[in-house]
Structure formats: structure tokens, C-alpha cells
Amino acid sequence: MSDIVATDRIAPLEENPERAGFLSWVASVDHKQIGIMYLLSGLAFFGLGGLEALIIRVQLAMPGNHVVTPDTFNQLFSMHGTTMIFLVIMPVMAGLTAYVIPLMIGARDVAFPRLNALSFWVQLFGGVLLYFSFIAGGAPNAGWFSYAPLSEPAFSFNNGVTYWVLGLLGIGIGTLAGAINMIVTILKLRVPGMTIRRVPLFVWMTLVNSFLMVLALPVLNASLVMLAADRLLNAHIFTPAFGGSAILWQHYFWGFGHPEVYIMILPAFAIISEVIPVFAGKPIYGYEFVAGSTVAIAFLSFAVWAHHMFAVGLGHLFDLFFGISSMTIAVPTGIKIFNWTATLYKGRIRFTTAMKFAVSFLLMFTIGGLSGVSFAVVPLDWQLTDTYYLVAHLHYVLFGGSVFAILAGIYYWFPKMSGRLLNEHIGNWHFWLTFVGFNLTFLVQHLLGMMGMPRRVFTYPDWPGWMTLNMISTIGAFVLLLSVIVFLWNIMVSLKTGEIAGDNPWDAWTLEWATTSPPPPENFDLVPPVHGRRPLWDLKHPDRADELVAAAAGK
Amino acid sequence: MNGAAQNLIYAWDFDPSIVIGCIALLAAYAVAHRGDFAHAGWFVAGVVAMFLALVSPLDPLSDTYLFSAHMLQHLILVLIVPPLLLLGLSPRFVRAVLRVPALARIERMLGNAVVAWTIGMAMLWLWHAPYLYNATLADEGVHIFEHVCFLVSATIFWWPILAPVEEVRLAPMPAIIYLVTGALTNSILAILLTFARPGLYPAYLSPDDPLKILPMIRDSWGLTPALDQQLGGLLMWVPGGMVFLGAIVWVIARWYSTPEATVRVAPAN
Amino acid sequence: MSKSKLAVVLFILSEVVFFALLIVAYVYFHAYPGEGPTAANSLNAARTGVFSIFLFASSGTMALASRSYRVKSGAMLGWLIVTVVLGGIFLFGQAHEYMGLYASGVTANRSLFATTFFTLTGFHGLHVAVGLLAITVVAVLTASGSFGATERETEAFGSVEIYWHFVDAVWVVIFSIVYLWAFL
């Protein structure tokens, strides 16, 4: 075993002179530092987006409330959605992949380290530009998808939507560059022995997801450019009154928007595919099916966007075809849920905090997926679209799905990044507060939606049951606030006095666990040999190697 | 059942050229494969699909009445028949063919991924240009030429993916890109057709009614010319796209089920 | 395929999608035109065609520059400069066309044709400009003797070359759809 870096030597951030000083971070092109900066910026924007959500929930706790004006409310929900999607989930996923991928493939850094840094800073700048709108006349107020003609100058009372366009263009460029970088990294920098069929599923899913980004982000960029022409050059591409087409915006935006939601969930699937096997003590069940179904999902994500437009009046025939394709996309997703669940079966499960988030991801995302499939039934969609049922659905998949997976990933990789484990006792509080708070907030919203409460309304009449359910939802939001505070507390306490992690605190199998925690700047002193999908397992148990390794050795 | 439906069901047209052509194809296969019939089922299925598409009532529906029916017929000719025929070729036969230098040269030229993709996609787009498409409806000779173009260009398109011999096929990941970009290009054309103003192909607006089924089509089936055109585009888009997805899943399944040789890794010490 | 080439190919893939969407918007409004100026009554296909020839020629000279680079014949710098000049003439032609259109009242907001026309050709022009910048950088480095023939530099030049050919290929499509199709 002399070819693995076997020491428990820590090289905490403070000791390594290369990492000292604030300026070294700003100028860094090291993927680990850039990854951490993504995570920190994501955390900051999570605070802002969460604050926006809390104010929304306070306003909606009671009917006829006047905590904020209607226009402020519009700005709040527009910014909440835009922030959480473009400035939290996507950057945090980018940060986790930037940090982990080079380590997982045994590389020194990404293919284009300076491009990596550019991606981060352009993304951050886009976010700052977006938030600048608050003090420059008002934030965007046409929703996170800025439907025309509401987004057009004739109906906007401030420059908010223009900031939205420009900020998102910046973010879009940063994300696209990051995706290209990641594809080249994965295809070109893998350590010899790690063929494409042997990569950890985190790597495979990141590869597929990056291709999805390369194809979907330009759709957003083209749409934004045309909206910019309307807003800044007084054009009328999307204004029906002058011969333009508001529906064209919807098609174009959702042509991006639907792949975008898969862009946000695929990295979550990637994290779960690493965490669950490790803490179940079993390799993933059906690696090939998980890998193949990922490609199917990515492909189908381009074939279903019109299911956001069932209520637009495109015609029954149109609705029928897209309803069918939308139901189809549930199949590869279901295959994955089955595989993760089967991995748990007869496993020796360790319920670390990471595992708690991962297992509850399975439940929460399934609920979100079911409500999603219910929307594929077109007449149901006509009733439920743009109600709180939809808000419930999207939060179950994006919070119960993506965010829970992110939290699992953070508890899983925090030790590698910092050298210390996050406290499991505080983590337990964090988990349960999050789980309870999340479900309290969003489960009741299914009911509110079915009772007819539309989304994006700043208040509602005092109809029976509406206030009770809204109040429950608001209380849940404050429980979530508490959970975030506990999480931050955990991070701060653990950074100072957390248990030293060592190289491989979880007894995991992928290459990032074959170096110190945190890794040295060059990542590895020596990379272990790779013959199968779980290199560290194969090294530790040469007599019980994976079938792949045995097949390759000719047994 | 009523008279119109009966007229349609019995409207089979066993055009001699098609019957002879299919028999010839099967005969050629039998001779060329000389007892090596492990894959024959696929090939026969392909010929049967082509035969049915061209002689069943689908044919008069396509030629005269409905754009969507014609689309269905073409989808079969482009997305179903060539893959089946290719899957039906035996590796031994293909290798024997490729040993002939002239044929190998042709294969290298036409089987190149960029060339094959472009030929396949270009043919698809070209024949939907109103000028050309209307010509096929007006002149049977042009129509036959169009069908031959489709069959040949589609076979070329599917060759880098489904050729029986691994050496001439695309590697799995480039194959997936090939299919994804093909599907997207197919989708863009389909989108244009779905959203185009009705009457892109004027012959379908008020067709002749030799089979006396037009009232059934317009009234019982509810297919106005506008809906018919939209349906044609949607068929190309969604079910057409699904065929590409099926091919992608096939490529991945084949890829993961091929065992991998071990890669020599230098010992660390 | 090297890292640089793969990166440029992926970038081009994303740009194909970007331009495809702008083209679809143009085609959509060509089929459902509002009022105001249209392609047929505003554009001069012949004049733009002449300027287009300069752009297409620049692809040829770029290929020649690439060959000179590979065989180290010393003509690389010359061909690069010719490429930049040819591309610059194309851009000049476009600027001239834009000014003419503006002068006759065909501004970007005048009609849906105008908006989609300027957006599509404008972004193409932007891509041409960026390409010329990249080629100029290579030319300057070559002139100062700093552009050698290591693998990294070879791949970098190859990437610029691919990008330039892509920009030309896009113009073939745009010219056909905007200028030629309008007059069919």
C-alpha cells in the first residue's frame, strides 16, 4: 500500500503559505480555492434569497397584510427565484464540482485554471449587478422568468428587468465557460486507468450535465439578447401590440428553462450517487443504468419544455404530445430512484448527517417528482399551473432535491476541504430542523394550490382555511431560518474545534480520499492505480475486487 | 363499419415496382449472406416495414390527403427501415465487402461521421422545402426519386452508428454527440413545420377525394388542414426524437456491456 | 483532439445554438412580418455579396497561413495580415450597410425585420471582430518572434483557425437566409 498517500498529516489552510492572505484568494487559479469561493458566494446569496423568502412568507402569513407594497412584493419573489436558481444552486454546484472533480480523476487542476477563475468572478459580478438594481431604481419585478410583455418597457416601471438581463448574461457566460472547462477536464485529464466507463458517477453526471449546459445556456443568452433589444433599443420582438410575439419569449425561455431545471438536479443526483453507496457500504446498484438514464434525461429535457405552456392555448394536439413526452421523462428518473433505493437494501447503513440528507432527498425528490408528473396530465395542469401547487412542486424538487443533496455533499466533503469533520450532534439538529421546517413550509402549499391560491399574489382574501395553511407555511419558513443558523453555527464551530478528519474519514473509495485533508496545492503526491470504479476499495480488498476489475484481469 | 372506413382499409396498392423491389432486396440478401442468417430477422423486419409503409392504405393517405400521414410514412422510411436493414447485415458480409478496395474507399468517404451526418440532415431539410415537396406531390417520378433519396441518405446517416462492424462505427461518446445533434436538427425542422402557417404545402388544403374519405377525415377524425400540418410536425418532433433517444440508449447499452481490457498502469514505486 | 481544440469545438457548439435561435427568430418574423421595412425592400444582396466574398476569401488565406505555419515557410505572417485585411473589409462593408440603413430610416426598432436583422448580423459582426482580434494577436506574436511551434502554440493557432472558419460558415447560412431567401 505504499503507493497511497497514507499519512494523516493535516495541512490546514492557515499553515500553507501559498494560501495565505486575502489577496491570494482573489488572484487564485487553484480549483480548490475557486470551489470554496463559489461555495461562500453561494452561501451569501442564499442568505439574501432566504431573507427575500422570509419577507414574502411574513407578508402572506395573514390575509390583507401590508408588510410590503405590491410592487416590492413583486421584486421580492422575482429576486428570490432568480437568486436561488442562478446565484445559489448553480454556483454551489459549480463550486462542488470545481473542487471535487479534479481530485476524483486524479488530476492536478482543471484543464483551464484561469478560465475557471474567470467563470467565478464573472458569475459573481453578474450577481452583484443584479442586486445593484435594488438601489438603482428597483429590482426586477416580472418574475424569475420575465414573461413578455410584462417585461417590456411599456409595462415596467423601473430598470429592474434590464439589470436582470445584464446580470444573467454575465452569469450565463461564466456558467458556459465553466461547463466547457469541466468537459475538457473530464475527457482529457483523467489518470491513466480511469477509463470513461470507470469514472465515479459524480464525474459522469457532471460530464453529461456540462454538455446540457453547453446546449442550453446559449438558448438563454439568445433570449436575453433579444429582450435587451426590446428594452434598450425600443424594439418589439416580444410585444404583440407591434407585431411581436409574447409566446416566442415563452418558447425561447422555456427552451432554456426546462433543461435548466435538469441542470440543477443532475449535480444533486451526482452527489447522492456518491454519498449513498459510501454510507450504505455497498457499491451503487446498477451503475450502467444510472449512467445511461442520465443521458436519457439530458436528451429528454430538450423535448418537454412546452409543458410549462399548457395553459397558453397552443392546441390540444400540441399539449397531447408534450404531455406524453413529459410523462416519459419520469421513467429514467424513476430508474435512478430505484437504483439508489436498491443500493440501500441490505446495506450496512451509517446514518451520518450526510446520509440523513441523502436518504431524505430520496423521499422529498420523489414527492416533488410525483407532483411534477401530475402536471403532465394536461387538464390537471390547467387547474393547477401557477398556483401554490406548482410552488410546492418546484420547492420539493429544488429544495427537497437539490438543496438537500447539496447539504449532503457539504457534510460529505467538508472534511476534505477543511481537514475537520462537521459536528455530527449539531448536524443532527440541523438536519431535523431543516426536514421539519421544509415540509412544514411546503407540504401545505399543495393544498393551498388545489384550493385555488395563485402564485405571485401579494395577498389573498380571508377565505376558509387559507390563513391557517399560510400561517403554517410561514412558521415552517422560520424553522428553516433556525436550521440555517444552526448550520452556520456548525460550520464555525467545526472549523475551530472540529474533529480532525484525516485522509479518508468515511472509508470511501474514490480518489479524492487518497490524499490529505485538505489536499496539497498539487492535489496528490502519488495517485493510486485505478483498475475499477472504486480504486481505494480495490487497493484495500484485492481479494474482493469489483467484477470489472476481475474481468479486466481476465478472471 | 361505414363505407368510407371500408374504402380506406381496402385501399392497398401493390405497386409492381415496390413488390419487385422488396423481393429483389430479400433475394439479394439471401444470396449475399449464403446461409449466414443470424441477423436475418432484422433485415426482413426492415423490408416488411418498408413494404407496409409503401403499399398499405398509409400510401394513398400520404400521397393525396394528409401531410401527417405522409410524415408518418417518411419517418418509417428514414428512422425505422434503414436501422433495421443495417442491423440485419452480418459482420462477415460487411467485412467481405470492405475488402474490395473501391468499396472500402466509398465507405471511408461516405461513412465519415461529418459527411454522413450532413448528408442525412441535408436531405431531410431539402425535401421539406415547399418547392421540392410540392413537386413530389405533383409528379410521381419526383416522388419516387424522393423516396430513394430518403432511403439512401438515411442509410448513410445511420451507418456510423449501426454498421455491424465495430471498426467503421463511431466510438460511443462521439456517437452520442452525433445522435444528439441529429435529434436537435431534426427538432428544429419539426418546430418550423409545427408552427408554420397552414398551407405550407397547398395540395393538402383541398385534396382530390378518389377514395371518398375526405368527409371522414375532416369530420369524424377532426383533421383540418391546419391540425394536419401541426400533427405532421409534432410526429417528426416527438416520436421522431424518441427514435434518436432509442438509438442513444442502444449505443450506451452496447458500450457498457462490452468488457474492457485492463489498462497498464505503471507501479507507483 | 487536444484540450484547446476540444474547448473551441464545444464553444462553437454553443455558438451554433445561439445563432440558430437568432435565425429562427428572424425566420419567424420573415414569415409573419409586421409592418415597416422588410428584407426585400431594404437590402442590397449584390453589394453585401461582394463584401461576403472578402470574408470567404479570408477563410482561404487563413488556411494558407495555417499551411505556412505547419511547413514553416515563413509566409505565415503575410497570410495572417491578408486575412485580417480581408476580414476588415467585410466589417467595413457591414458598417457601411448599417449606416446606409440608418440613414434611410431603417433603425433597429423600425420593424421586426429590422430588429432581427440587426441582432443577427450584428452578433455575427461582433464574432468577426473578436476573431480578427485573435488573429491579430497571433500575427503580432509571430512578428515579434514569440510565436514558436511548440505543441501548445500549434494547438492555440489551430483553435483560432477553427473559430475563424466557423464564423465564415455562419455567414454562409445568414447570407443565404437573410439576403438570398428574401429575394426568392
Domain segments of chain A: what residues? 17-552
In whole angstroms, give the CA distance from residue C87 to residue C60. Answer: 11
- Measuring CA to CA, which residue among B43, B117, B128, B48 is closest to residue B83? B43
**B174/chain A closest Cα distance in angstroms:** 12
Q: How far is CA C152 from CA A183, A547, B147, C149, C156, in A?
A: 19, 40, 49, 8, 6
Q: Residue C109: which pLDDT band, with cuts at 50, 70 and 90?
A: confident
Q: List, for residues A202-219, the tens digit of each pLDDT value.
A: 999 999 999 999 999 999
Q: Is the pLDDT of residue A10 over 60?
A: no
The fraction of chain A above a pLDDT of 90, given in percent, is 82
| CB proximity list for B178: less than 8 A, separation 6 or greater | B113, B117, B160, B161, B170
- Measuring CA to CA, which residue among B2, B18, B120, B26 is closest to residue B59? B18
Confidence at residue A552, expressed as pLDDT on a 0 to 100 scale: 60
Which cell numbers hold the place of B155?
442509410
User: Which value does ipTM take for this structure?
Assistant: 0.92
Mention the CATH class of domain A17-552: mainly alpha
Lowest pLDDT segment from A269-273, A274-278, B163-167: B163-167
Confidence at residue A418, expressed as pLDDT on a 0 to 100 scale: 95
Q: Is the pLDDT of residue A11 over 70?
A: no
Q: Is the pLDDT of residue B47 over 50?
A: yes
Confidence at residue B269, expressed as pLDDT on a 0 to 100 scale: 37
Confidence at residue A14, expressed as pLDDT on a 0 to 100 scale: 45
- What average pLDDT does the segment A33-55 reach? 96
Q: Is the pLDDT of residue A404 over 80?
A: yes
Q: Residue A252: which pLDDT band, with cuts at 50, 70 and 90?
A: very high
**A114/chain C closest Cα distance in angstroms:** 13
Confidence at residue A548, expressed as pLDDT on a 0 to 100 scale: 62
| CB proximity list for C39: less than 8 A, separation 6 or greater | C30, C113, C117, C178, C179, C181, C182, C183
**Which residue type sits at A412?**
Y
Confidence at residue B262, expressed as pLDDT on a 0 to 100 scale: 58
Looking at 2.60.40.1260, 2.60.40.10, 1.20.120.80, 3.30.70.580, the CATH number of the domain C3-183 comes to 1.20.120.80
In whole angstroms, give the CA distance from residue A404 to residue A397. Answer: 10
In whole angstroms, give the CA distance from residue A265 to residue A269. Answer: 6
What is the SS3 assignment for A454?
Answer: strand
Chain C: list its partners (3+ Cβ pairs within 8 Å): A, B
Best of B170, B195, B229 to disrupt the C interface by mutation (most C CBs within 10 Å)? B195
Neighboring chain B residues of A554 at a CB cutoff of 8 Å: 262
What is the SS3 assignment for A420?
Answer: strand
Neighboring chain C residues of A220 at a CB cutoff of 8 Å: none
Neighboring chain B residues of C32 at a CB cutoff of 8 Å: 197
Which cell numbers hold the place of C103?
440613414
| Concatenated DSSP letters of B126-158 | HTTSHHHHHHHHH-HHHHHHHHHHHHHHHHHHH
Mean pLDDT for all residues in chain C: 91
Confidence at residue B217, expressed as pLDDT on a 0 to 100 scale: 87
**Which residue type sits at A338?**
F
Which cell numbers hold the place of C155?
494547438
- What average pLDDT does the segment A301-307 reach? 90
Q: List, for residues C30-69, the tens digit of each pLDDT value.
A: 877 767 888 888 888 889 999 999 999 999 999 999 998 8
Best of A289, A316, A317, A548 to disrupt the B interface by mutation (most B CBs within 10 Å)? A317
Q: List, for residues C127-173, the tens digit of each pLDDT value.
A: 999 999 999 999 999 888 888 878 888 888 999 999 999 999 999 99
Cβ distance C49 to C179 under 8 Å?
Answer: yes
Residue spans per domain, chain C? 3-183
CB contact under 8 A, C15 and A248: no
CB atoms within 10 A of CB B185: 19
**B265/chain A closest Cα distance in angstroms:** 6
Neighboring chain A residues of C159 at a CB cutoff of 8 Å: none
Lowest pLDDT segment from A21-30, A45-54, A350-359, A421-430: A21-30
Confidence at residue B267, expressed as pLDDT on a 0 to 100 scale: 44
CA C124 to the chain's CA centroid: 6
Confidence at residue A554, expressed as pLDDT on a 0 to 100 scale: 58
Q: Residue A18: which pLDDT band, with cuts at 50, 70 and 90?
A: low
- What average pLDDT does the segment C114-134 reach? 95
Q: How far is CA B261 from CA A105, A532, C140, in A?
A: 19, 11, 48
Cβ distance B157 to B120 under 8 Å?
Answer: yes
pTM: 0.93
Q: Residue A546: which pLDDT band, with cuts at 50, 70 and 90?
A: low
